[in-house]
């Protein structure tokens, strides 16, 4: 029952209104009360950005405040001149800039870099950080490199827009220069404003009827009473004195402690291309360095070696300032990855190289090694990640993305995350549920509400600063942090770094809870499907990188050929950049995906050249037709990782029957009917039918795809309640060794070549796709009684329930798999492999007979309209195979899809390495990163059991050691004793990852 006096409540509300108006109309304008005009001239680049030296050499024309400027994605340089008057104190003179900002959030619209005449950078100009410090008194000159980045997105508006592609973005200026003037900042008024905003923010979140809230309102009202509205500068000190007692009340002993770390999550590409990210990184680091100079307690954390590398190449002088700040402990490189990558779709070796290249760059160029994994915004986290991270020397993990879950809330904020091999990472979700905090009262109150370990722990992490589009922390955020160091009504705030936070969190919570397995994001499931050409490029590049390293290593150690270190490093870093969590998931503007496709094509050309050179060296002048098998499994008479004579598998010839066409070989019999779908798939050895009676297989299903939010990111379960099955093909006919099915629907067409080859049923799709907001799936009903489906992930596999017993099961309606899934019961199962499909769903169902069955579906294509209205339009190719068998057969078929036959000529080459236990797969063979010539072999146990055997090499070596991913020697129980040049005994735990280094010197 509400027993508070309504009159008292009304009195407080009236006081708040009075305070708010006073701050808005009197105090805020008085911060920069004295202003002067400046001279402005401008030069339009009319194209891609240019360096400072080129810009200042151009002819600048007079420009008036109020004029329009900037076609979409263009750049305008403004040359500003003026004079700071005598009598203005040190640090008072500022250039105020409004480029035409039309939203409060920085990073998503126009922004600028401010330069001195000598080319050194001062700081950035952004919507909520729109000032440039000036020296004085006396003349000054500033050059502003203003980027006319169009507004692609405003929150929860997903209208198709042409501005994401320069070819359709338009030619008219999109901004108006609103403000460019010299102003004198009154420090005392600014400090008064920060005092008042901190207390007023607390008023908004404290209990409505609490004494502390009433105290704060009274203090704020006293501030208004003691000040003269006609002379805010002259009475600001009195106003601060009125607020001081309220600011001096200390926090309760039970208050949480927020380790506040400056941050700016900068998407390496998203609603802007990578070339603009380079400038965003420059602007953000410039802001950070300005704050470091002003505040001795401020510490900033930034991830992504790629972004530091961009800064070093584009702005070497600014990079040297960053390097000095890193050495001083003021900037903390975190994460250790090349970029903040997606973790669902990159291969295991790609995630390894994210850490190898990221950590190596930090060590070589900054002299530091991060032991935190830092992925606050990726769209779910693979269960293989803890092991990969630990193998790279990582001990802790930061993310907040699971707080976006639509259905279920993760049960802990600080916990141990356990991966598929049992490795564990100390993990923390900042309970503010954002990496863009402003340290305001609302964020801190949310932190206190949502911290799951309340009562057991008090240490939490707070990441503050404008992010996504960059910008970083501001002086106002730091002012709030200092005032909340020990303030009643708020968690305590301390400025610190991530390593200090994790040390303190581990000390106060010695026995944290454990989350085992993947951290599935109950949102953004459509990112497994969107922009399939980008995904195909990634899968193909990963395969080519494996081949290029293997054959180049073999050529180096067996034929003394030169190893292409630089070319491989460039290829890897290009591919790693395309795995950024808004590129590979398909959630960027058209420009980004066009660039990604070009990058993958360039990588493919380079790697094909490296492979050809290596195979030619290995061929040693021979002319015998051969097959180069880069897979870790033998195939077609060729050993794993070897080059030899092989026989191409022969496909069955279609035979017409009354029901359609039969495809039969020694292992499999399939029937395709006149609808172009499977009537029967029979395992000939067991006589077992794969399909439930009365249900067709290999059926294309078309669904509406109109998500509630986030077009390219999301698919919604309700859109899949009703769909259309494509059962009326244009034609079904035998052609060579295939049954060819052709469909036309809407504006699209599909050709499917169905073959039976080597006991495997293949569906090869050639799709000319022109649908909009549709989702295309391929469905296989399976006559198996299963409770779970097995999906390949990095360095192993994962079982997921296919029932809907819990809300967690129900929410997991679209899941990631790499090259294969497997659905089975004891003694019988079905493997479904693919060449470039990531989205799958497998659910328990009931057959027409009333018996239980499973339905496995692969998600082939969709066509979202935002942020790229042309997403996925055009030609696509897929191959999907089905085979009765177990997980070993699934693994084999996955490698067949991933690494197709490569023919060559020469002389047979013995495998460089061979492992006696087929459960142990070789995932990488390469030369060491330090260019010593040592051979590095990466192995993984693939079946989820214990494996032991020997590894044999075809090259001499002096010693062998287990290493971490950075190829530094570590202790390992997986490696037995061995003599130089002999066999190497190994014994791996389930899904264990092992890296071996063979020294040949």
Residue located via tokens 């404008």: 466
Distance CA 37, CA 32 (A): 13
Among residues 180, 239, 174, the alpha carbon closest in space to that of 39 is found at: 180
Helix or strand (DSSP H, E) at 331: strand 331-333
Eight-class DSSP state of 129: B
Distance CA 946, CA 301 (A): 40
pLDDT of amino acid 85: 97
184: which residues sit within 8 A by CB, 6+ positions away? 32, 33, 34, 35, 88, 92, 93, 94
How far does CA 258 lie from the centroid of its chain? Answer: 26
Eight-class DSSP state of 976: -
Cα 434 to Cα 265, 343, 439, 857, 914: the distances in Å are 10, 19, 11, 34, 48
Distance CA 963, CA 562 (A): 24
Among residues 499, 543, 592, 606, the alpha carbon closest in space to that of 901 is found at: 543
- pTM over the 0.85 mark: yes
293 φ, ψ (degrees, to nearest 5): -65, -25
Distance CA 462, CA 180 (A): 34
Cα 839 to Cα 296, 466, 694, 717, 878: the distances in Å are 48, 32, 27, 14, 13
How far does CA 80 lie from the centroid of its chain? Answer: 39
What tokens appear for 210 in the block? 């609490």
Among residues 459, 599, 479, the alpha carbon closest in space to that of 540 is found at: 599
How many helical (H) and strand (E) elements, i.e. helices and strands, does the chain have?
A: 19, 52
How far does CA 666 lie from the centroid of its chain? Answer: 45
pLDDT of amino acid 338: 98
Instruction: Report the chain's C-alpha Rg in angstroms.
Output: 31
38: which residues sit within 8 A by CB, 6+ positions away? 80, 81, 82, 95, 180, 181, 182
Query: SS3 string of 388-421?
Result: HHHHCCCCEEECCHHHHCCCCCCCCCEEEEECCC
What tokens appear for 738 in the block? 């295939």
Residue 649 DSSP SS3: coil
Report whether 661 contacts 652 (CB < 8 A): no
Distance CA 78, CA 345 (A): 43
- % helix, strand, coil for the chain, step of 5: 30, 30, 40
Distance CA 362, CA 305 (A): 7
Q: Where are the alpha helices (DSSP H) in 333-392?
A: 348-366, 385-391
976: which residues sit within 8 A by CB, 6+ positions away? 984, 985, 986, 987
CB atoms within 10 A of CB 213: 18
Distance CA 847, CA 651 (A): 31
What dihedral angle (degrees, nearest 10) is formed by the CA atoms of 546, 547, 553, 558? Answer: 150
Q: Where are the alpha helices (DSSP H) in 560-578?
A: 565-578
Report whether 824 contacts 830 (CB < 8 A): yes
What region, left, alpha or beta, does residue 459 occupy, with left being phi > 0 and alpha being psi -120 to 50 degrees? beta
Helix or strand (DSSP H, E) at 670: strand 668-673
Residue 467 DSSP SS3: coil
Q: Where are the alpha helices (DSSP H) in 23-51?
A: 28-31
Residue 872 DSSP SS3: coil
596 φ, ψ (degrees, to nearest 5): -60, -40
pLDDT profile of the chain (1001 residues), mean per 10: 60 90 98 97 98 98 98 98 96 97 87 98 97 96 98 85 96 97 98 98 94 96 98 98 98 97 98 98 98 98 98 98 98 98 98 98 97 97 98 98 97 98 98 97 98 97 97 98 98 98 97 98 98 98 98 98 98 98 98 98 98 96 94 95 94 95 98 98 97 97 96 97 96 98 97 97 98 98 98 98 98 98 97 98 97 98 97 98 98 96 95 97 98 98 97 96 98 92 94 97 78
pLDDT of amino acid 102: 86
Q: Based on the number of CB atoms within 10 Å of its own CB, is 275 exposed (0-12), middle (13-18) or buried (19 or more)?
A: middle
Beta strands in 490-646 (DSSP E): 492-495, 514-516, 624-629, 642-644
Per-residue b or e along 104-121, where b marks 16 or more CB atoms closer than 10 Å to that residue's CB? ebbbbbbbbbbbeeeeeb
What tokens appear for 491 in the block? 């968690």
Per-residue b or e along 228-260, where b marks 16 or more CB atoms closer than 10 Å to that residue's CB? eeeebeebbeebbebbeebbeeebeeebbbbbb
pLDDT of amino acid 4: 55
- Active site amino acids: 377
Length of the chain counted residue by residue: 1001
Q: Based on the number of CB atoms within 10 Å of its own CB, is 384 exposed (0-12), middle (13-18) or buried (19 or more)?
A: buried
Report whether 394 contacts 369 (CB < 8 A): no
Q: In the chain, what is the straight-line distance between the N-terminal and C-terminal CA atoms, in Å? A: 82
Report whether 268 contacts 277 (CB < 8 A): yes
Give the angle 139-144-147 at the CA atoms, nearest 5°: 170
Report whether 792 contacts 893 (CB < 8 A): no
CB atoms within 10 A of CB 651: 18
Report whether 396 contacts 336 (CB < 8 A): no
Distance CA 845, CA 462 (A): 45
Paired strand residues for 626: 904
Residue 259 DSSP SS3: strand
Among residues 809, 991, 814, 805, the alpha carbon closest in space to that of 887 is found at: 991
Helix or strand (DSSP H, E) at 556: helix 532-559
Q: Is the peptide bond before 694 cis (omega within 30 degrees of 0)?
A: no
Distance CA 127, CA 109 (A): 9
Helices 475-483 and 274-294, interaxial angle, to 10°?
50
Among residues 20, 432, 13, 447, the alpha carbon closest in space to that of 199 is found at: 20
Distance CA 375, CA 309 (A): 19
DSSP 676-731: SSEEEEEETTTTEESSPTT--BSEEEEEE---SS-TTT---GGGGSSEEE----SE
């Amino acid at each position: 029952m509400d027993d508070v006096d309504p009159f008292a409540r009304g009195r407080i509300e009236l006081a708040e209104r009075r305070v708010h108006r006073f701050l808005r109309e009197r105090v805020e304008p008085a911060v920069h009360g004295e202003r002067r005009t400046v001279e402005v001239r401008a030069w339009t680049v009319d194209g891609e950005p240019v360096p400072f030296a080129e810009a200042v050499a151009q002819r600048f024309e007079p420009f008036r405040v109020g004029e329009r400027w900037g076609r979409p994605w263009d750049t305008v340089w403004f040359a500003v001149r003026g004079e700071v008057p005598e009598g203005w104190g040190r640090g008072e003179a500022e250039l105020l800039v409004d480029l035409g900002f039309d939203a409060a959030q920085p990073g998503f619209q126009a922004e600028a870099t401010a330069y001195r005449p000598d080319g050194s950078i001062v700081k950035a100009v952004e919507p909520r950080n729109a000032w440039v410090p000036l020296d004085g008194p006396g003349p000054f000159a500033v050059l502003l490199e203003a980027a006319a980045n169009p507004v692609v997105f405003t929150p929860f508006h997903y209208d198709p827009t042409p501005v994401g592609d320069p070819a359709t973005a338009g030619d008219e200026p999109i901004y108006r220069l609103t403000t460019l003037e010299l102003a004198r900042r009154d420090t005392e008024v600014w400090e008064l404003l920060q005092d008042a905003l901190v207390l007023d923010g607390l008023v908004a979140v404290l209990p409505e009827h609490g004494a502390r809230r009433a105290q704060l309102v009274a203090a704020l009202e006293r501030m208004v009473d003691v000040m003269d509205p006609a002379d805010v500068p002259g009475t600001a000190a009195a106003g601060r004195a009125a607020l001081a007692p309220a600011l001096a009340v200390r926090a309760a002993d039970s208050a949480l402690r927020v380790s506040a770390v400056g941050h700016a999550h900068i998407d390496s590409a998203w609603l802007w291309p990578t070339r603009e990210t380079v400038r965003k990184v420059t602007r953000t680091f410039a802001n950070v360095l300005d704050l470091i100079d002003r505040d001795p307690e401020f510490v900033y954390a930034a991830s992504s070696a790629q972004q530091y590398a961009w800064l070093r190449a584009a702005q070497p002088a600014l990079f040297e300032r960053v390097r000095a700040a890193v050495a001083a402990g003021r900037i903390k490189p975190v994460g250790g990855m090349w970029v903040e990558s997606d973790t669902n779709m990159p291969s295991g070796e790609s995630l390894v190289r994210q850490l190898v290249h990221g950590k190596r760059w930090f060590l070589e160029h900054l002299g530091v090694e991060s032991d935190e994994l830092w992925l606050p915004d990726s769209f779910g986290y693979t269960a293989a990640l803890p092991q990969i991270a630990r193998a790279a020397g990582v001990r802790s993990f930061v993310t907040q993305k699971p707080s976006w879950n639509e259905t279920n809330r993760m049960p802990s904020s600080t916990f141990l995350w356990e991966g598929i091999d049992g490795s564990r990472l100390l993990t923390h979700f900042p309970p503010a549920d954002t990496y863009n905090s402003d340290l305001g009262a609302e964020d801190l109150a949310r932190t206190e509400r949502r911290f799951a370990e309340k009562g057991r722990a008090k240490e939490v992490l707070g990441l503050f600063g404008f992010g996504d589009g960059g910008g970083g922390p501001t002086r106002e955020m730091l002012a709030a942090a200092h005032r909340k160091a020990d303030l009643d009504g708020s968690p305590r705030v301390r400025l610190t770094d991530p390593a200090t936070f994790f040390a303190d969190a581990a000390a106060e919570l010695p026995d944290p809870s454990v989350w085992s397995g993947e951290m599935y994001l109950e949102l953004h499931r459509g990112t497994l499907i969107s922009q399939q050409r980008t995904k195909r490029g990634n899968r193909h590049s990963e395969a080519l990188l494996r081949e290029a390293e293997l054959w180049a290593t073999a050529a180096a150690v067996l034929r003394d050929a030169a190893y292409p270190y630089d070319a491989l490093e460039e290829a890897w870093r290009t591919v790693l950049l395309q795995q950024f969590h808004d590129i590979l998931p398909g959630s960027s503007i058209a420009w980004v995906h066009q660039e990604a496709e070009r990058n993958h094509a360039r990588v493919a050309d380079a790697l094909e050249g490296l492979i050809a050179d290596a195979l030619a060296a290995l061929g040693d002048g021979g002319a015998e037709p051969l097959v180069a098998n880069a897979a870790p499994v033998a195939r077609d008479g060729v050993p794993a990782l070897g080059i030899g004579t092989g026989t191409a598998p022969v496909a069955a010839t279609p035979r017409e029957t009354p029901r359609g066409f039969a495809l039969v070989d020694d292992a499999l019999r399939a029937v395709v009917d006149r609808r172009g779908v499977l009537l029967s798939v029979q395992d000939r050895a067991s006589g077992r039918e794969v399909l439930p009676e009365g249900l067709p297989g290999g059926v294309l299903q078309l669904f509406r795809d109109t998500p509630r939010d986030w077009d390219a990111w999301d698919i919604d379960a309700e859109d899949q309640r009703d769909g259309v099955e494509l059962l009326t093909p244009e034609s079904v006919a035998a052609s060579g060794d295939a049954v060819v099915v052709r469909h036309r629907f809407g504006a699209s067409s599909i050709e499917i070549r169905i073959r039976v080859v080597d006991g495997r049923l293949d569906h090869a799709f050639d799709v000319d796709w022109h649908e909009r907001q549709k989702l295309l799936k391929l469905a296989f009903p399976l006559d198996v009684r299963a409770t779970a489906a097995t999906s390949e992930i990095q360095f192993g596999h994962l079982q997921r329930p296919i029932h809907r017993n819990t809300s967690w099961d129900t929410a997991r309606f679209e899941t990631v798999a790499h090259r294969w899934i497997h659905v089975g019961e004891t003694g019988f199962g079905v493997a479904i492999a693919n060449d470039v499909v990531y989205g799958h769903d497998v659910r328990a169902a009931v057959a027409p007979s009333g018996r239980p069955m499973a339905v496995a579906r692969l998600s082939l294509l969709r066509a979202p309209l935002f942020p790229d209205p042309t997403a996925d339009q055009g030609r696509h190719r897929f191959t999907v195979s089905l085979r009765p068998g177990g997980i070993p057969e699934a693994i084999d078929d996955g490698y067949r899809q991933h690494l197709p036959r490569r023919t060559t000529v020469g002389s047979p080459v013995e495998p460089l390495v061979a492992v006696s236990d087929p459960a142990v797969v070789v995932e990488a063979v390469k030369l060491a990163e330090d260019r010593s010539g040592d051979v590095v072999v990466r192995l993984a146990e693939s079946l989820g059991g214990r494996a032991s055997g020997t590894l044999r090499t075809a090259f001499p070596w002096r010693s062998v050691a287990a290493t971490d991913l950075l190829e530094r020697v570590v202790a390992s129980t997986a490696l037995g004793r061995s003599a130089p040049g002999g066999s190497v005994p190994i014994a791996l735990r389930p899904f264990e990852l092992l890296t071996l280094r063979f020294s040949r010197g």
